[in-house]
Amino acid sequence: MSYSNNYETSYTSYGAGGGASSGGFIPGEGSQNSPSGRKDYTQDTLRAVTIKQMLDSPQSADEIFKIDNTPISQVTFVAQIRNISSQTTNITYKVDDGTGSMEVKLWVDSDNENAQDANKAKLVENTYCRVWGKLKSFQNKKHVGATVIRPVEDMNEISYHLLEATVVHLYFTRGPPGGQADTAAHGGQVPQITGGEYSGGQMVGYSKVAQKVFEYMRQAPQSNEGLHQHDIAANIGCEITDVAKAGDDLLAGGLIYTTVDDQTWAVLEAD
């Protein structure tokens, strides 16, 4: 399955503005208005995200959400459907991607019912879906107004999406590949990954508990789901609260990622 055929992105399309020629754009609501009164679609971008990133994103006074201090317009993510509520004018999907849960609202388009019905039959509870849409807030509760929801038919797409979301996060927090990284988060030290090995300087700026957690995760036998923080705490002899804090730091640094839930982690291996 070629995921690039479903939607195309590039590093140049992640940030708002710039009018990138490849990907990063879905025509629809929410585009910025230009001084002439026309919608400026060059401000629309498409970004791969996790639900936790959306839940944590602050909203500015002009109702623009930001992730990694960067404005977002259109988002895409993969999640499992937990509940479906059908109304006359819309369908609300409660979805969960392992980092959090959120409602996705798809408005019924009477002019495109045949295409919607084809997907609707496959979009059932406990199946996975890919969502494209816009992050919204109503009465201080965030949801996604969907442009498209389609079923995930290749389970590799789940891992593909999580890796892409990680790459985009690292792009904004560390800079483009080969460029200067953001050094402020780790005491002026930039973790460098080369040749698939983690050097001693990689962990400079992290707490001793974080270093112990990361080293244990690298060495301990584990399944594809990774290791739960309770198991890590028991094996390295640290308090669970300290391990949880260390995990947050390692997640923010892009060294590990969550798998089946927020407390189960795996190491993001270098190439």
Residues 152-195: pLDDT tens digits?
Answer: 999 999 999 999 999 899 888 887 766 544 444 444 343 443 33
pLDDT at 56: 92
Does an H or E element contain 250, and which? helix 240-252
Same fold, 3-158 and 183-267: no
Query: Top-level CATH class of 183-267?
Result: mainly alpha
Pairing of strands 46-48, 74-86: parallel
Q: Using pLDDT thresholds of 50, 70 and 90, give the confidence band for residue 27.
A: very low
The sign of the torsion formed by the CA atoms of 120, 126, 128, 132 equals positive
pLDDT tier at 252, thresholds 50, 70, 90: confident
The confidence score (pLDDT) of residue 219 equals 87
pLDDT of residue 14: 41
In 3D space, the residue among 16, 20, 53 whose CA is nearest the CA of residue 31 turns out to be 16
Q: How confident is the model at residue 91 (pLDDT cuts 50, 70, 90)?
A: very high
Q: Where is average pLDDT lowest: 52-66, 73-87, 88-102, 113-127?
A: 113-127
CATH class of the domain at 3-158: mainly beta
In this model, does residue 7 exceed pLDDT 80?
Answer: no
In degrees to the nearest 10, what's the CA dihedral of 117, 123, 124, 128?
180
Which element (helix H / strand E) includes 92? strand 90-96
pLDDT (0 to 100) of residue 143: 94
Residue-level pLDDT at 134: 93
**What percent of the chain has a predicted confidence (pLDDT) above 70?**
68
- Residue 259 confidence (pLDDT): 83
pTM of the model: 0.55
User: Domain segments of the chain: what residues?
Assistant: 3-158, 183-267
Given a cut of 70, whether residue 255 has pLDDT beyond it is yes
Q: Which residue has the tokens 């080369």?
A: 194
pLDDT band at 224 (very low <50, low <70, confident <90, very high): confident
Q: Is 46 in contact with 26 (CB distance < 8 Å)?
A: yes
Report whether 250 contacts 213 (CB < 8 A): yes
Residue 93 CA from chain centroid, whole number:
18
Q: How confident is the model at residue 80 (pLDDT cuts 50, 70, 90)?
A: very high
Q: How far apart are CA 4 and CA 236, in angstroms?
A: 42
28-32, 56-60, 159-163, 235-239: lowest mean pLDDT where? 28-32
**Comparing C-alpha atoms, which of 49, 42, 45 is closest to residue 23?**
45
pLDDT at 195 (0 to 100): 33
